[in-house]
Amino acid sequence: MNDTIAAIATPVGEGGIHIIRISGEEALAIATGMFQPQGGAKAADLEPQRVHYGMLIDPTDKQPVDEVLLLCFRAPHSFTGEDVIEIQCHGGAYVSSKILQLVLDQGARPAEPGEFTRRAFTNGRLDLSQAEAVADVIHAASDKALTSALAQLKGQLSDKLNTLYNELLQVLGQLEAAIDFPEEGLEFVQKQQLEQRIQGTSDQIKRLVDSYRQGKIYREGLKVALVGKPNVGKSSLLNALLQEDRAIVTPHPGTTRDTLEERVRIKDIHITIVDTAGLRHQPGEIEEMGIERTRHALAQADLALVIFDASHALDTNDALLIKEVADKKKLVLLNKSDLPTAIDPNALLKQLKRDSAIRLSATTGEGLNELKDALYQSALGGRIAGEAVVITRERHRQALAEAQSALTRVSQSLQEDRSEDLVAVDLNIALEHLGGILGKTFVDDLLDQIFNDFCIGK
């Protein structure tokens, strides 16, 4: 971590500009050996936090390489906390590669994926949750995802977790005082007060754990499975939502034999829609394989769109469908509403334990706007991104769940009047898991796993 690293920080290919980023103790020396400022100024006198215009030259033959803009950031006032140089050159693939190679020839080494952000974490510029938010900002595919990522990058999650961490740290300090000085006969903390503080902290952690489903949808989008018996109009509905003929539609049942996954944007939420094979009794061998994939898609989905043919009375295949989606979060759709109705909506909703259904026609477009609104509201989950702290990563959810479990054991120990030593053990476990999210406690393997998912140059 003490050497100087460099990378092209912009996407590969041709563009308006490319940026070569350098960070480390030798960054300034490398840049000044290659850069000639306009107007005769000395490169060694580059003013930090300013944009400088000039010519980049090859140090070996003194030949010009490109007209560039150069930005200089002195430690610790930079993204990484080290001396950082950014060279903005013309956006040709060859010229940017040539400049990077010249930088490497002067003593820098190629940066690993995410190494600039990793140095920002190591040097205390970001905590670990904020570092992960950098990647989330880059990969954000909707306004909700971007808003959530920016909130985490600004430290909203960090502030919340640090508050909980410090609360538990104070409790642990009181317990350890009671453990270390038992002969003094002093009561460092009242049991009832301790239980209330632990329960309050545990409740806040539980709310964060419960926010994961919503945060995951903000970050990755809502995954929806279209399910129904054969020939009910699933593929037609997919095409209507996509506004293109993506799925094959025929009047013959069983046309869809495999799952088909497509993405659609509804307002500022990305929704992944999975068209599935129709569920029915006694399918053929190949169709049976498709139905198994339907069940898998249903299990993986955040929401099921359960489709019924409103122009036909319910049959045994519909009964099979109702059984398959019994415990699944779902919207009920009555398709083919442009045809005479033969279904009893009230009887169907009673079996599904739902209050309402959406009538629509994938052919005419009737009800599609109502369906889109319902999908959007399901994605929001009743809250607006930014109104409260949510977690978006499985790593955070798992660590918080472990911390909550440890605090549950603390409460049990207090209720059963167990020793302070036993209570302190579980408090330490809870602190370790909270600290792991922030990077207060970590192992190098965890950092490798996190930062290897970053692009090179970030």
Average pLDDT of the chain?
86
Q: What is the pLDDT of residue 251?
A: 52
Task: Tell me the mean pLDDT in the region 361-371.
Answer: 90
Tell me 384's DSSP state. -
Lowest mean pLDDT among 10-14, 160-164, 180-184, 231-235: 180-184
64 vs 451: CA distance, rounded Å: 36
Got the DSSP string for 278-292?
A: PP-SS--HHHHHHHH
Q: How confident is the model at residue 28 (pLDDT cuts 50, 70, 90)?
A: very high
Question: What angle is formed at CA 313 by the lines to CA 308 and CA 314, rounded to 5 degrees?
Answer: 60
* Three-class SS state of 333: strand
Got the DSSP string for 59-79?
A: TTT--EEEEEEEEEE-TTSSS
CB 58 within 8 A of CB 102: yes
- pTM value is 0.78
Q: What is the pLDDT of residue 248?
A: 45
CB-CB neighbours of 249 under 10 Å: 19
* CATH-assigned architecture of domain 218-380: 3-Layer(aba) Sandwich (3.40)
* CATH-assigned architecture of domain 131-211+391-451: Up-down Bundle (1.20)
> Nearest-CA neighbor of 374 among 388, 359, 362, 363?
359
Between 394-415 and 191-210, two packed helices, what is the crossing angle to 10 degrees? Answer: 160
Q: What is the pLDDT of residue 43?
A: 61
Q: What is the pLDDT of residue 448?
A: 82
221 vs 198: CA distance, rounded Å: 34
pLDDT digits (tens, 9 = 90+) for 300-324: 889 999 999 989 888 888 888 888 8
CATH of domain 5-111: 3.30.1360.120
Q: How confident is the model at residue 249 (pLDDT cuts 50, 70, 90)?
A: very low
